Amino acid sequence: MKIGIIGTGNMASSLIKGFQSQKKNKIYCFDLDSKKLSFFKKAGGVKIATNNKEVVEKSEIIFLCVKPNSVSIVLEEIKKTLTPKKLLVSIAAGVKISYIEKYIGRKFKIIRSMPNLPCLVSKGVFGFKANSRANIKDIESFLLLVSTVGKAFEIKKEKDFDYITAISGSGPAFLAEYIAAQLVYAGSKGLSSSLAKQLVFETIIGAVEYLKVTGISPSAFVDLVSSPGGTTVEGVNVLKNKKFTNIIIKCFDSASKKSKEIADKLVLEKN
């Protein structure tokens, strides 16, 4: 497949790495930052275009990987080069399909998607939604590509992107906050950082795998490992008393509200 990448920052780098693992893919990219382009030039395996239009000209599927506030500039630049056969995939947070259509028109194939940073280690999670012009084949091409960096889930209602942005987009950072707290605790008790990391990482991987494989609910899992009068109950009671669930819900709610705010602001700027 001929793939175009516009903006080669953090997210795009992880996508490029995955796409390169499918030998038949040809990748064309452009970035305003020449340092990023020289990095890819040195690393090899991608073709560096001289501008965004050339990326679009040479590609069948184009990934728009710039920050949300740069999307309109890029769309203005490429709209005359884009053709109805090409598929445009945006990964920009808060940028609605209708926003993109306002710039380039409704006759183009668009997929809005929301990846997350674990794409870098092929464990990414994508939410995605296609517009009415994109057909099954387009979606299959998209899914084939993103299967190299993670798993993709179709989102039926576009407004759900705000929740997906919070859950899988920002979620890894919230989990990292939890992990950081565990490491602070382990460090304060004199455990070596290397041992603490291994204990914490493997515990999380093991617990998640157990939940996935058995299909048991998280609350049943808590009951399973909580003997009356034991250590787990003691800790779980602290979480309950401190309203852990409410804190987590507030955290995700703030993130999803921010996502909606960004989307609304972009629409206002366009009108």
Ligand X SMILES: NC(=O)c1ccc[n+]([C@@H]2O[C@H](COP(=O)([O-])OP(=O)(O)OC[C@H]3O[C@@H](n4cnc5c(N)ncnc54)[C@H](OP(=O)(O)O)[C@@H]3O)[C@@H](O)[C@H]2O)c1
How is 64-97 classified by DSSP, letter by letter?
E-S-GGGHHHHHHHHTTT--TTSEEEE--TT--H
Burial 20-39 (b: 16+ CB within 10 A, else e): beeeebebbbbbeeeebbee
Q: Which stretch binds ligand X (CB under 6 A): 32-40, 141-149, 190-198, 239-247?
A: 32-40
Q: Work out which of 5, 62, 82, 93 binds ligand X, going by CB under 6 A.
A: 93
Least distance to ligand X, CB of residue 2, Å: 18
CA distance from start to end of the chain: 36
Q: Report which residue type is found at 88.
A: L
Looking at 142-203, which runs of residues are DSSP E strands?
Answer: 150-154
- Based on the shown chain and the rule CB under 6 A, indicate whether residue 262 belongs to the binding site for ligand X: no
Closer by beta carbon to ligand X, 8 or else 256: 8
Binding flag, residue 11, ligand X (CB under 6 A): yes
Minimum separation from the CB atom of position 32 to ligand X (A): 4
Smallest distance, ligand X to C-beta of residue 48, A: 12
- The answer to the question of residue 59 lying near ligand X (CB under 6 A) is no
CA distance 66 to 72: 10
Q: Which of residues 107-136 bind ligand X (CB under 6 A)?
A: 114-117
What are the C-alpha distances in Å from 257 to residues 68, 79, 129, 167, 250?
16, 31, 20, 12, 10
Q: Are 61 and 141 spatial neighbours (Cβ–Cβ below 8 Å)?
A: yes
Between 173 and 181, CB nearer to ligand X:
173
- Cβ 180 to ligand X, closest distance in Å? 17
The answer to whether residue 261 forms part of the interface with ligand X (CB under 6 A) is: no
When CB distances to ligand X are compared, the closest residue is 9
Beta-bridge partner residues of 154: 128
CB of 30 to ligand X, least distance (A): 6
Contact pick of 16, 74, 89, 200 for ligand X (by CB under 6 A): 74
CA 5 to chain centroid: 16
> Closer CB to ligand X, residue 86 or residue 196?
86
Minimal distance, residue 244 CB to ligand X, in Å: 25
Q: Which of residues 133-172 bind ligand X (CB under 6 A)?
A: 169
Among 1, 32, 48, 186, interactor with ligand X by CB under 6 A? 32
Rounded to whole angstroms, the Cα distance separating 97 from 90 reads 9
How far apart, in whole angstroms, are the C-alpha atoms of residue 204 and residue 14? 23
**Nearest-5° Cα angle at 173, 168 to 177:** 135
d(CA 98, CA 110): 10
One residue of 16, 91, 100, 167 binding ligand X per CB under 6 A: 91
Residue 256 touches ligand X, criterion: CB under 6 A: no
Site residues (CB under 6 A) for ligand X?
Answer: 6-12, 30-33, 36, 52, 65-68, 70, 73-74, 91-93, 114-117, 169
